[in-house]
Homo-oligomer: A and B are copies of this chain.
C-alpha cells in the first residue's frame, strides 16, 4: 500500500516561494479544508480558529511565537503539532548581532558623531573582539549560528542554555541554573533567549552591575529580557560600555525615550531579519519540514505547547 501524498495549505495569502517549497518537500498543495497541514507565514491576524479537524500540523512563520500563546491560539492540550521558524532566520539575526557587537567594540557610534580627525582620542577607544570572551545567553539557533562568526574574529564563546548540554564551538556551556556566574566572567553579552516568564528581565540592575565598564550588551531576542530602566541607568552612569538593541521594551520604542539620546547605544528597529532575506530562508525551512512530515520524521523547530516556545 502506498500512502497518499500529504497535502499542505498555505496562508494567509498565496506565495509562490512557499508553493515551490511544499513541492520540493514532496507534498502537494490543497485548500485548508482538505489539507493535512497548514503553513502560515504571517502574524495571527486572520488565522483560522478553530482549525479544521483535518489539520495535523501547523508551521508558523516567525521564530518567536509568544503572541500566538498570548492570543490563546496554541492551547497547552493541543493535539496538533506546531512548529515555529526558529532557526530559519538564525544566521541573518546572528550576523546582525555580530554587526552590533563589532560596531560597539570598535566605537562606531562615536566615530559617526565625530566630524573631525581625532586619532589620538579614538586610538584609546577602539577595542577588539580578538581574545575577548563573549557570553551567548540563550544559545539556541541564533547563538549557534553566531558561534562560528565570533570564532572567525578570534573571540571565545561561553554559552548558556537550559540544560547546560555542551554547545559545539563554545569553550564552556553553563546550564541556566548557573547563569549568575556569567555576568562577571564575560567581556560582552549577546542575549538570544526566548521570551518566557523565566527569562523576563533576565538582565537587570544586579546583572548589569557585575559587567565591565567596557562590556557591550547586545539584544536580538525580545525586549522584555532586559530591564530597560536599569539598562538606561547603567548606560548613563557608564558602568557598561554600551548596548546594541534590535528589540526594546517598550517596542516600538516611543519618541523621546531616553535610549534614543544616549551616545553609547545602537538601536535598530527590530530589523535584524529583513524581508529581502526572510522569504528564501523561510522557504528553505518549510521545504525541510515538509520533507520530514512526508517521511513521518520528527519535525524541526517544534513548539512545546506547555513551556510556551
Contacts and interface: CB of A to CB of B under 8 A. Distances in A.
Interface of A: 91-92, 95-96, 98-99, 102-103, 105-106, 108-109, 111-112, 114-119, 122-130, 148-149, 151-154, 251-255, 260-261, 266-272, 274-277
30 contacts: A92-B130, A95-B154, A98-B102, A99-B99, A102-B103, A103-B108, A108-B112, A108-B266, A111-B266, A112-B112, A112-B266, A115-B261, A116-B260, A117-B252, A117-B253, A117-B255, A117-B269, A119-B252, A119-B271, A122-B268, A122-B271, A122-B274, A123-B274, A124-B274, A124-B275, A126-B268, A126-B274, A149-B153, A151-B152, A152-B153
Number of copies: 2
Contacts of A123: 271, 274-275
A119 B269 contact: yes
Contacts of A103: 99, 102-103, 108
Nearest to A115: B260
A95 B128 contact: yes
Contacts of A152: 148-149, 151-153
A272 B127 CA distance: 9
Contacts of A115: 255, 260-261
